[in-house]
Structure 1
Amino acid sequence: MSTISPLSNSIDTDSTEETKSSPVPSHTSDEGYAEAIAATKREIESLKVKLRNTKEELADAFLDEVSDQMGIQPLPQTGYKVRKTLKGHSSKIYAMYWSPSQPYIVSAGQDGKLIIWNGISGNKMLAIPLRSPWVMTCAFSQSGKMIASGGLDNRVSVWDVQSKDSSSLLSSKITAEMMGHSGYISCVRFVSDEQIISSSGDTSAILWDLSRSKPILRFEEHDGDVMSVAVDLPQSIVVTGACDSFTKVWDIRTGHCVRTFAGHEADVNCVRFFPDANVIATGSDDSTCRLFDLRYDGEISIFSHASIAGGVTSLDFSSSGRILFAAYDDFNVSAWDTLRAERISVISGHQNRVSSLGVSSDGYALCTASWDGNLKLWTQKP
């Protein structure tokens, strides 16, 4: 317990009088501080302008121009062939996701089911009925032991998926349900087997503790629905794309936005890391895909074609990163040479919007999901 020192009683009268007679400080010093702060702010803004101008001066070429100067040959026109069509959903498929550790695919349909498929045989391994049929997203954990989903019920649901061997899944058990968003869940991605992140129509993203089903951090700076999220744990960063046309980079340790990328003219529907995680790919309703380099802190490439009128719905890279696959509203998928920004293939076969796509962890197969109710597995033609 704090006490008052007895020395306070021994202060002599002279010192007391001196204290009483000390002049009251004027406001001059406060005004000086305010002016110093204002001057510092002006200097900071001036430095920001100089930095921006210097960066623009140095940004004298896009990736395709540099590739041309270096004599990098474009990829040849390439064809892709359907190897299997996975039929099992009775309504639109909104999302699919490959397991990072096994040849399994999880798909989410508006028939109110999550289905896990064997990506090699094409067999259905497990169907999980959902509480709400309005599911919009799904994901596998890095270990392949858990799956998650979310949708218009504003809820993130997580299941443990038990497997006996590589050919059969025995059961699933719901282990966590997280409610904290006030809008629909647009995307879920596992950070680890202990944490998951979700983006939402409430303009935020949330990092969750799965053991407690409680939020750890909120990411809140967008001015529109957050449509997609991606995580790179080694760099401790999260990337979000939103309907405000911006892509934001966040520190996953603090929840602070550390970078904002502009350039798109409409909603940013999807974000994806390049295999080395130093570059971000984005897809938008403006019919373009763009690459943003985290080291350069700016846009380095744009992918567009006069024949493409629909918005971009989903993105993924080949295992080397040389090819960028982009799904569109026009029922097609385009394959782009990332170095030359040239389209090398148009992948057609679905009868409705291609809502989601992904490349298998071994890089061998591309899976596409569509509102026509089917998933298709593609490989490059010999």
Structure 2
Amino acid sequence: MQGPTRFGAERAGTHSMFVRSFIRGTRARMACVLAMSAVLGCSDEGGDGRTSKPPGTARIERPAAAFTSGVAGTFRCVAEDPDGDALTYVFDWGRAKADTGVSQRVPSGTAADVTTTFQTVGEFSARCRAVDTHGQLGGWSEHAGFAVQAPPPADDGKRELTLDVLGLGQVRSTPAGFEGCTGTCRARFNLGTHVALDVEPAAGWRFVGWLGCGAEPIPNVMLIESDRRCTARFAPKVELAAEWRQSSAWRPSDAAWGPGGTLLAVLDPMGMQGVVRVWNVSQGRLSQELRMKSAALRSVAWGSRVDDLAVGLADGRVSLFSPGTEEPYRTWKAHTGAVAKLAWLPNGAELATVHNIATGGAEVRFWDATTGTESRPPLGATRTVQELHWSPDGLRIALEVQEGQVELHTLDAVGPPLVVDNAESFAWSPDGARYAVGSYRNVRVYGTASQAQEASWPGTWSVSSRLDWSRTKDWVVVSDRIRNLVVLDVATGAVVAEASEPPADPLNGTGYGAVRFHPHGESFVAVEELPAAVSLFSVEAQSPRAHRRELLTHAKAVNAIAWAPGEHTVASAGGDGKVRLWNASGQAQTTLDGHGGQEVLALGWDAGGAWLATGGADGRASIWEPAAGVRVSGPFQMTPLAPERTPRVEFVALHAAGGEGYLAVAGAHPILTGRQTGVQVWDIRTGAELLYIPRTDAPVVALGWSALGLVIVHDDATWDFWSPETGARQRVEGPRERLSAAALSPEGTQVACSDRLGVSVLDLATGNLVAEAANTTEQRTLAWSPEGKRFAGGGWAELVFQWELREDRHLQSSVVGAHEGAVMGVSWRPDGQALTTGGADTALVTWRTRR
């Protein structure tokens, strides 16, 4: 083992250290460059015996972003030589054409043009570099993207609309042009035509949405004013494609238990639309998500039958769902505006609904849920109703209204309601003989028949925002807006259990907006809007503190996923600063919290699946033993390039066994002009730094270990091998496209890549093309299957793709799932029968795969 290896931004003798190869026209282009170098000079020495320095990095310019096939176009290159030598510029056209462009020799710092003609239509990128009179090669320029278009046809007053269909489904148009379009289709329409596109998912599939279609007032109607391109996305139905899934929430506001206590519905207004998520609490995972296409969801309540899951809509309607179904089985109009609250008659089929009137006050209406017709006269309230509670005997209804009052209405009776002042929250006893009201540091208990106060219990909470009464014990749970949470014995006022977690900053958060006791047990759920949390608390007789179990995955995006090799554990990294471990059935196991609340961005297991490396936005990486929930090595701090400029660890690669080995990290340094990455490697036992690259030649998109050592893949489709034994680095160059993601194959011989043209598989040793496939969307993350014959990925298109490597050098693609935000991470289960993805939508899903 050699000492630490440190590399600056530039390395002397780079051109003689690295292997260079291009996957198309490689030999022709490189032969041209090498032959030119031989003509220009074979020595690195200048005329006075001094060693010649290579030219600087070139800059490429293109006068136009688009060229016409068969018509000559011009590119320009310029660079400076530190010795003042004259320069010749070499142009690499990437996939546009195989031959290399060579300019005239010009003085240092002088631009030179090359004119060329392209025949292939498509989108490409070019780059250039300088060669001095001694054959020294300068650094490649940045890629310059350009398009080659077919010669325009004579203007016939029509324009072309191109449709890309991803997944299984078809698209038709009105007027005619697309009749059952699958794959990629093109049709021409008269200028000014409004083309309506209708989608039809295949059996078992759903339409996800349009992509890149422009900001049309009606998403599926396009005005043809120029050539346009649009993508229709289809994905398998989640309930058919997913083995299990977990999710977080945007701002959960309420919850309702199913009658058996197995299912829990959680309302999440989620911006303009809203969603109700149904969790199987016994299994600890998400069961279903309910949405309405035509209106936003604003309230939820569950009746005495499992089929009576009611949701109130923003347009005044009420819908009833059976769990497991996508569409409501009954919907009716209840109000002229949003249904703010719902409450079922206990053990009955009658439903109460609330609409808060914009000008003040509220109306409460009552419905026979079997018919959707009114069952009794409505009630009016002079203030906004925040909650309503039907008494167990169905004779009364309590309204929590603004300004700290509760109105107790006796139904079907004449006269004003009883008003209880200084009452911020309310709960009925299970038999309805008593009720409790909460206020500032106090809970009072009243007899229902006598209306006499029976008890008053002080507490340490502030204003009691929520109350609920246990169905099985004489307990109430009290919560407030600064996360105090206390269970009281109603008879004595004694604290049965404490679950308070006051925040460091009381102004940062909303506290608990709902608390609901389990219908048949001593546990309860507490819902917090910000930061989002749906927590299950178990009250144990021998413990003064309630045990908490969180249902949500992460409070923010799921940034990375990693299955343990040969194990039944999958790790997820969240934007909330936590790493969570899940078993193969999707049940939460352990939480690791070691990045100071900052985003966790990277995960990596050792080959045996015993240790897990994590990296985060705090610039640190750590190694954990998840089974014990402890850190076993680190944290290792990345070296910042400037004071108070903390790098973000975006990739980790762990190579360890028996307590010995290496931890490699790649991180992004914050700079004003773009993205700069660095790489560091440490000995995990001693903590000694073995490699330090403060600035890589291009941003890193993948990091991993192979038989040849550490592999560092850059976004310019080059990668370096670094040997920890010798400290030497060797470079391989692939096709010249800007990569958005890459992944090393399990056996360490291939690399899967994504760029703007599609996906490809390259030979790791040579850079040669193994297989490729076009794709209209770039991937943000890629991962190989355990057997090395398939890989999966996803990105900003929100779809999860799988590609299978065929013997004909083709990649067969399929869509296996979809998120409601960008796909951020993907990892295969060790048996290769499923893969797990995480997304910006905070969802964590394990999808079945097909071969």
Q: TM-score, normalised by structure 1?
A: 0.70
1:116 to 560, 566, 581: 581
Offset at residue 296 of structure 1 (A): 4.4
- Aligned-pair Cα RMSD in Å: 2.9
- Which segment drifts farther, 345-354 or 213-222? 213-222
- Aligned twin of 1:301: 771
How far, CA to CA, are the matches of 2:757 and 2:613 in structure 1? 29
- Aligned twin of 1:238: 710
How far, CA to CA, are the matches of 1:192 and 1:174 in structure 2? 12
2:760 to 284, 287, 290: 290
- Please give the residue correspondences for 1:301-340 in structure 2 after superposition, counting only pairs within 5 Å: 301-305=771-775, 308-309=776-777, 311-339=778-806, 340=809
- Please give the residue correspondences for 1:1-382 in structure 2 after superposition, counting only pairs within 5 Å: 39=42, 81-87=241-247, 88-119=553-584, 121-130=585-594, 131-162=596-627, 170-173=628-631, 175-182=633-640, 183-193=647-657, 194=660, 195-202=662-669, 203-219=677-693, 222-232=696-706, 235-243=707-715, 245-253=716-724, 254-266=726-738, 268-284=739-755, 286=756, 288-305=758-775, 308-309=776-777, 311-339=778-806, 340-380=809-849
Q: Describe the SS at the equivalent of 1:199.
A: strand
Q: TM-score, normalised by structure 2?
A: 0.33
Q: Describe the SS at the equivalent of 2:841.
A: coil
How far, CA to CA, are the matches of 1:272 and 1:315 in structure 2? 6
Higher strand share: 2
Offset at residue 108 of structure 1 (A): 0.6
Amino acid at match of 1:380: T
How far, CA to CA, are the matches of 1:191 and 1:328 in structure 2? 28
Q: Are the counterparts in 2 of residues 94 and 110 from structure 1 also a CA contact under 8 Å? A: yes
Q: Which runs of 5+ in 1 are unaligned?
A: 1-37, 43-48, 50-55, 58-76, 163-169
How far, CA to CA, are the matches of 1:294 and 1:366 in structure 2? 24
1:186-212 alpha-carbon deviations (Å, 9 max, x no partner) = 100111143211111243222211122
Q: Are the counterparts in 1 of residues 817 and 847 from structure 2 also a CA contact under 8 Å? A: no
Q: Are the counterparts in 2 of residues 160 and 175 from structure 1 also a CA contact under 8 Å? A: no
Cα distance, 1:298–1:85 mapped onto 2, change above 3 Å: same
Amino acid at match of 2:42: A
How far, CA to CA, are the matches of 1:381 and 1:272 in structure 2? 21
Q: Are the counterparts in 1 of residues 799 and 818 from structure 2 also a CA contact under 8 Å? A: yes
Q: Are the counterparts in 1 of residues 816 and 848 from structure 2 also a CA contact under 8 Å? A: no
Q: Describe the SS at the equivalent of 2:42.
A: helix
Amino acid at match of 1:302: E
1:241-265 alpha-carbon deviations (Å, 9 max, x no partner) = 334x233131323443312324253
- Which segment drifts farther, 89-98 or 219-228? 219-228
Offset at residue 333 of structure 1 (A): 1.6
Amino acid at match of 2:758: T
Q: Are the counterparts in 1 of residues 563 and 570 from structure 2 also a CA contact under 8 Å? A: yes
Q: Are the counterparts in 2 of residues 200 and 227 from structure 1 also a CA contact under 8 Å? A: no
Amino acid at match of 1:206: Q
Q: Which runs of 5+ in 2 are unaligned?
A: 1-40, 46-89, 91-97, 100-167, 169-234, 248-552, 641-646, 670-676
Q: Are the counterparts in 1 of residues 241 and 817 from structure 2 also a CA contact under 8 Å? A: no
1:160-200 alpha-carbon deviations (Å, 9 max, x no partner) = 233xxxxxxx5323531111332221100111143211111
Higher relative contact order (CA 8 A, sep 6+): 1
Cα distance, 1:89–1:332 mapped onto 2, change above 3 Å: same
Cα distance, 1:269–1:137 mapped onto 2, change above 3 Å: farther
Amino acid at match of 1:215: E
Q: Describe the SS at the equivalent of 2:639.
A: coil
**Percent identity between the aligned chains?**
20
How far, CA to CA, are the matches of 2:576 and 2:632 in structure 1? 19
How far, CA to CA, are the matches of 1:375 and 1:141 in structure 2? 22
Cα distance, 1:294–1:141 mapped onto 2, change above 3 Å: closer
Offset at residue 92 of structure 1 (A): 0.5
Amino acid at match of 2:571: V
How far, CA to CA, are the matches of 2:583 and 2:573 in structure 1? 15
